[in-house]
Structure formats: structure tokens, C-alpha cells
Structure 1
Amino acid sequence: MALNEIKKKMNSIQKTSQITNAMRLVSTTKYNSIVIESAKYDAYSQKIKEMVSSVIRPDIQYDLDASPVVDEDGNNDSLINFHSMMEVRPVNKVGFLVITSDKGLAGNYNTSILKEFRDQARKYRKDQIEVLAIGAPIAKFCRENGYHLAYERYHLSDYPSFTEVRNIIREAVNLFKDKTYDELYLCYNHSINVLVNECRFERILPISPENIRHLHEENKDKVDPQVLIEPDVNQVLDFLLPLYAQTQIYGAVIDAKTAEQSARMQAMGQATDNAEKLIADLQQEYHHERQKRITNEIIEITNGANAQVKEKKG
């Protein structure tokens, strides 16, 4: 390779490494901001789960036809009968709420989610599956592979507000109430720490003593089994069930965004490291080629000088 070509390639890779490093720093800043909120919300979510596991018990009768309550904004158009979340029925169709990222350059972030969804979807026929797609990758995957999209949402912000996610929660609950599906599963990336993410696949609907048995097991040492409920169970559920839906779905979105920034930070850091290694290799090749060229020039000069000496002697 010519020296000029090597130099141009080094300059090009150097500019790329500057971009990837800048993106790594941006992702690091975003991760440090959202991971704090994610940890706080996770603690809040665990408390809600403990409360749900203490209220929903086999020996209590629930009014599944209770009227929905007015939301905090008093908006009648957004009313949801959250008590319908407790209706257990034969499973003819299942819903998958899958959270992916619209933005790229995040390593295998989307790939791992799509693989998890594909593995879980194989347990059912395609006509049994309804997908709530968050992000373009899962929507594209479903269209290409023949899965029906019941809901689509794109371009959530890096710091999603509850207002952004409210429509997703409303749609997920209403589709269950309308019997579009009989069970709903969440599929998303969970951030364990800055270096490790894992796919999570969780059933969130319906809520019943049988379906939240694991919560009873997890919280049996935290919850008083003789807890008193006032004024009555159904009024407590009017308050508690909306919170449960919100914490499950909004919490998953926040967690997924944290994992996304973690994945992008690692991917851009790795890209920067690879660029630096490539530049070092090219620098070595450049010096080798330059040295070889100098050596060849010295040999040519020496040979020319020797030829002149021979001509003079001759």
C-alpha cells in the first residue's frame, strides 16, 4: 500500500474514532442520569408488587365489574377499568409487549430482544400472537415474519416521561379487556449494571392469586398475612391496580432505556478501542513502508555510485 493511501486511511479512522468516542461520552452521561431514576423507580415498583401480593388472595372475592375511576387529570376519555386486569380466561391469544430501540449503534441490544421474542413466540402459532411494538426494529421484524401488530409506538425519548408511556399502558390494558389477547407478556432488556444487560420475559396480565404466586413467595417475609384492608378491597384495588399497571410497563420502559444507554456506551467504547488499535497497526505499516522505501533508495544510490566507480576504472 502506498504511503499516501496509508496516511489517508489513518486520518479517516482517526476522525471516526473521535466521533465514536464523543458518542460514548454522550451515552455515559445519559446512562449516569437515567440509572439513578431507574433505581429509584425499581424500589417503588417492588413496593407496589408487595402491596399487590398482600391484597390479591384466593380467599377474597373481587368485583371485576367495578366502575373505572377518573384519572388524576379528570379526563373521561382515558378511563380504564383496571379491574378487568384480574379476569382469568382460557388462553386463545397471547400479547407480547416488546421494547426495542429506534436508534442504532448499540451493539446487540435489539438483536438479543428479537431473539428472545422469536424463541418465546415459537411456543404459539402465529395467529395466536398479538404484538405491541415499541420501536421500529420489532415492528419491522413482525411484518417480515408474519406476526400481527396490534399497536405500534416509535421514537420514545431518552428520558421517557409518564405522559409518553400513558397511552401504551392504556392500550395494553384495553386490548386485554377487549379480549384481543388473554395474556400479556413484557419482553425487554434489563440493565443489571453498566457492563451487563439481560433479556427479561415477564407475564403481567392477568393479575390473579395463581399468576402472582411468585410474588407471595418473594414477599412472604415482608408482608403481614393478616393485613387489614379498609374501607374495602375493591376501593383499595381502584387505587392499587392502576399503579401496578403503571409500574410494570413504565418501569420496563425506563429499565430498557437504561440498558440501551449502557449497550451504546459499551459499543462506542469498543469501536473507539478498535479504531485506536487499527491506527496503531497502520502506523506500524506506514513506518515499515517508509523504511523500506528509504532502504530501496539507499540501495539504488549505492548501486549507482558503484556503477560510476566501475566506469571510471574501466
Structure 2
Amino acid sequence: MAGLREIQSRIRSIEDTRKITGAMYMISSTKLKKAKRDLERTEPYFYMLQSTIERIMRHLPEMEHPYFEDSSRKCTRIGLLVITGDKGLAGAYNHNILKLAQQFLDQSEKQISLFVVGELGRQYFAGKHIPIAENFTYTVQDPTFDRARWISEILREKYMAGEIEELHVIYTRMENSMLCQAEDKRLLPLSGKQLPQPPTDVYQEEFMLEPSAKDAVDMIVPNYLAGFIYGALVEAFCSEQNDRMMAMEAATDNADKLLHDLNIMYNRARQAQITQEITEVSSGARAQRKKREAKKKRAARLQQRIKEVNV
């Protein structure tokens, strides 16, 4: 059995770790609530943009535009935006994203330009010696629409310049508080089949495109891209905080179980030590009593001999 000092040291270490995991759980909970509120405020606007693009493509199927899919055009250059976290301790969050990104790279025979959001993603691809076209730093922990628009403009300009002919984004979509799923989504070129349908409570009305359909698409699509990337950043942030909450909750529960077992072990060791000390004291007292009794017997024998000599 481990010594008392060793058990006490382990208990103090686990208690300190438990304080950290508990604090991280509370911080992630607060960040998650704030990010959800930010996403809910902007979702109706971007759902309307998606609906408008879908209606344009449905009513003007013959319209040709660089943003729209062209079956006669072959794609050879792909831009891949991968959204990971800046920190670990979030369960399998980063692992699932990087695994999906690695599968995308391994299965594609086309030229891929890699765009990374998140420090862990940058470290992973750098460790694999996979070149990164652009690394967007200081974005994951503070997903704002300005950062999303900045990223979307860089990617859109590369798309319009022909440096990439197809744009994909890999991020984590938060289904609910219990399920977060890594997902690959193609952003460009747009196809009517891939656009998500807006909720039924979003009001739709008749519309006219002025001064022309092309000008309207030129205005709407960049906003749609920025909105989708912003939504992906916020959903990824929410998923990361949710997975971290679950991981920290599990770690705190494990710490409680370890503390319970260590306290039992400490009490048993302490009880054994006390029992040993009592046994040692009793043995010492018994030995002293026997020594006194032996001394008395020697004194009695000595007195008896003196009496015999005197007689």
C-alpha cells in the first residue's frame, strides 16, 4: 500500500486538477451561450439570402454566371477551408475535423489549396509537411462577421481569379447539445440542389431583380459566402465549447471518483498506521512491565540470599 505522504500528494494534485476542469467547464458554458445568441440573431438574414439564391436559380435556370455550377466545366483546382480549434482538451472535436480533412486530401486527385483556421490545424498540417496556402489566425476564439467577411473575400477573389475552381469548407456542425458532426460543404460553384432550404417560418414574397439578375447575384453571393463562413465559424466555436464542456464534466466526475477511492485508501492507511503505533506502544509497555517484574524477582532473590547468609 502507498504511504500516507504519497496518497496526500496525489489527493492534492487531483483536487487542483479538479478545480481547473470545473473552471474550464464554467468558462465554456458561458462562451457557448453567448455564441448561440450571436448565431440566432443573424440566422434569419442568411436564410433569406440562401432562399433568394435558390429562387434565382430556380426561375432563371438558363442564367450563366461564374458563381453557378457549369456541367461542361471541369474542375482541377480545389480550395479547402478547414476550421479547427486553437486549443485542445475538447474531446474528439479537433480529431474528427482533421480526420475528415485528411480523408479529403487522400481521396482527391486534384490540386488542392489548403486554407486553415485554427492553430491546431496549422500544427497538424505542418507536421505532415502539407503546404498551407493561407493560415487565418486569431479567428477561432473570436468569430465575428468582420473576420468572416475578410476570409470570404480572400477565397472569393482566388475563385474569381481562377486560382481555385471549387471551394469546400470542412467544419463541425452542431446538431444539438449531444451531437456535433464534422461536415464537408461545397460553397462554390453554387448548385440549386446543395443550397439548404430555409425554415418554414421565413416569409417569402415576390421579387424583381434590378438592374439585372447578374448584378443581383454579384451582390448577393458575396454576402451569402460571408454569412455561411460566419455561421460555420460560430457553429464550430459552439461545437468546440460543447465538446470541451462534456470533456471537462467527464474529467471532473473522474476526479471525484479518484478522490473518493484515495480518501478510502488514505483512511485505511492511517488506520493501519494508528493500529501499528498502538501495537508498538502496547508491546513496549509489556516489555517494560516484564522488565520491572524481572527486576523485582532479582531483588527478592537477593534479599533471600542475604537473609540466608545472616542466619
Q: Which interval holds the TM-score relative to the shorter structure? A: 0.7 to 0.9
Work out whether residues 81 and 170 of structure 2, in 8 Å CA contact, stay in contact via their aligned partners in 1. yes
TM-score by length of 2: 0.83
Question: Runs of 4+ in structure 1 displaced over 6 angstroms?
Answer: 219-226
Quick check: 41-50 or 16-25, which moved more?
41-50
Check conservation: 1:188, 1:201, Cα contact below 8 A. Answer: yes
User: What are the ranges of 5 or more consecutive residues in structure 1 without an aligned counterpart?
Assistant: 65-83
What is aligned with 1:116?
Answer: 100
- Aligned mates of 1:225, 1:303 — CA distance in 2: 94
Encode CA deviations 1:101-126: one digit per residue, 9 max, x unaligned. Answer: 1122222211111011112222113x
Corresponding residue of 1:23 = 24
Q: Distance in 2 between matches of 1:60 and 1:225?
A: 20
Letter in 2 for 1:278: L
Contact 1:27–1:262 (CA<8 Å) still a contact in 2?
Answer: yes
1:296 to 252, 276, 285: 276
The alignment status of 1:194 with 2:177, answered yes or no, reads yes
Q: Deviations over 1:193-248 (max 9, x none)?
A: 233211111111111xxx331438x4698999995533331232133212211122
**What is the deviation of 1:21?**
0.9
Q: Could you tell me which residue of structure 2 aligns to residue 230 of structure 1?
A: 209
Q: CA deviation at 1:302?
A: 3.3
Partner of 1:241: 221
Q: 1:134 aligns with which of 105, 117, 121?
A: 117
1:144 and 1:180, CA in 2 relative to 1: closer, same or farther beyond 3 A?
farther
Deviation at 1:58, TM superposition (A): 7.7
- 8 A Cα contact 1:97 1:131, kept in partner: yes
Q: Does 1:286 align with 2:266?
A: yes
Question: Does 2:155 align with 1:175?
Answer: no
How many positions carry a matched residue from both structures?
290
The CA deviation string for residues 170-204 of structure 1, in whole angstroms up to 9 with x for no partner, is: 11111222222221111011122233211111111
* Structure 2 stretches lacking a partner, 5+ long: 298-311
- Measured on the aligned residues, the alpha-carbon RMSD in Å equals 2.8
> Of 134, 145, 150, which residue of structure 1 is paired with 2:128?
145
Aligned AA for 2:259? I
CA distance in 1, matches of 2:200, 2:30: 38
User: What's 2:54 paired with?
Assistant: 53
Q: 1:229 to 1:222 in 2, by over 3 A?
A: farther
- For 2:179 and 2:147, locate their aligned partners in 1 and report how far apart those are by CA, in whole Å: 27
Give the direction of change, closer, same or farther, for the CA distance of 1:12–1:196 in structure 2 (3 Å limit): same
**1:53 touches 1:212 (CA, 8 Å); kept in 2?**
yes
> 1:54·1:223 contact (CA, 8 Å) conserved in 2?
no
User: Kindly tell me: are residues 229 and 241 of structure 1, through their superposed partners in 2, closer, same or farther at Cα, counting changes over 3 Å?
Assistant: same
- Say whether residues 1:85 and 2:64 are aligned partners: no
Structure index of larger Rg: 2
- Which whole-Å CA distance do the structure 1 matches of 2:243 and 2:150 have between them? 27
1:255-274 aligned within 5 A: 255-274=235-254
Counterparts of 1:234 and 1:100 in 2: how far apart (Å)?
A: 35
Tell me how far 1:62 sits from its aligned partner.
Answer: 3.5
Residues 277-307 of structure 1 show CA distances to partners (whole Å, capped at 9, x for unaligned) of 2111111110010011112222333333444
CA contact (8 A) 1:35 1:258 kept: yes
User: d(CA) in 1 for partners of 2:43 and 2:220?
Assistant: 17
Match of 2:15?
14
1:204 match:
187
Indicate conservation of the 8 Å contact 1:50/1:223, yes or no: no
Separation in 2 of the partners of 1:260 and 1:220? 25
